[in-house]
Structure 1
Amino acid sequence: MKEIIIIVRPEKLEDIKHILDEVNCGGMTLSTVMGCGTQKGMVEEQGTRELKGFQTTINLLPKIRIEVVVNDRDVEPIISAVREKCATDHAGDGKIFVRNIEEVVRIRTGERGFKAL
């Protein structure tokens, strides 16, 4: 089993949900997060009369973090589909992280492994 963590622009959430439905992913955890990468946020010019022309850097941009645990065979199809649907060729498209999961236990029933997902 693998855990996939997908961090993307908020407007890409529906695309990600559709991708995960297509591979029959049983569930996901979603968080609204803030972050920056190579794009280093954005520069915004203040428009008030007192601060006219004053620029400030907004270092952290809103992102969505989706976490799923899937069968090993589903990792590459998910990665490919996310890249296809979410890549805009601009900095800030996001990241995908993949980690090994040793064990899963369903608290309610005690089921273990892939059955617990």
Structure 2
Amino acid sequence: MKITKVEIITRASKLEELKQALNDIGVLGMTVSQVFGCGLSKGHTEVYRGKEYDINLVPKIKLETVVCEIPVERVLEVAQKAVRTGNIGDGKIFVYELTDAVRIRTGDRGPEAIMDTK
């Protein structure tokens, strides 16, 4: 069984919808961080008190999860559906194959380290 890490960077306003969609397919464990970044658009310009400012690092959220039992393609499909608006700034999804995982409490390794064994 392969262990895969999925990293989703998207709008903070989509977090609850994304979490619910992933929970619905059995993805329960996740880490969420507030991040700042820019993609191909390199940010945007805003006006504050009559002065123009370049905003080149845009606030986003990064949701990370590791799966082995749930098909990665299903995770990608559900995540895209939950966060896609069709506008610039929807974000990116990165997929990494992991060589190992360790549950610190028990010493379990591999898929057993991330599966729900209580």
**Which TM-score band (shorter chain)?**
0.7 to 0.9
TM-score normalized with structure 1 length: 0.88
Match of 1:58 among 32, 55, 63: 55
Amino acid aligned to 2:67: V
Question: Higher Cα Rg: structure 1 or 2?
Answer: 1
Does structure 1 residue 109 correspond to structure 2 residue 106? yes
Amino acid aligned to 1:82: A
Aligned to 1:29: 31
Question: How far apart are the structure 1 equivalents of 2:36 and 2:109?
Answer: 33
Instruction: Count residues in correspondence.
Output: 112
Alpha-carbon displacement from aligned partner over 1:9-61 (angstroms, at most 9, x marks no partner):
001111111122122224111110001112321211132xxxx3x31111111
Q: CA RMSD in A?
A: 1.4
Task: Tell me the secondary structure at the aligned position of residue 66 of structure 2.
Answer: strand
User: Is this contact kept in 2: 1:2–1:72, CA < 8 A?
Assistant: no
Question: How far apart are the structure 2 equivalents of 1:81 and 1:101?
Answer: 21
Aligned to 1:88: 85
Aligned to 1:43: 45
Q: Which runs of 5+ in 1 are unaligned?
A: none
Alpha-carbon displacement from aligned partner over 1:50-106 (angstroms, at most 9, x marks no partner):
xx3x31111111100011110165211111111112111111100000010111111
Aligned to 1:6: 8
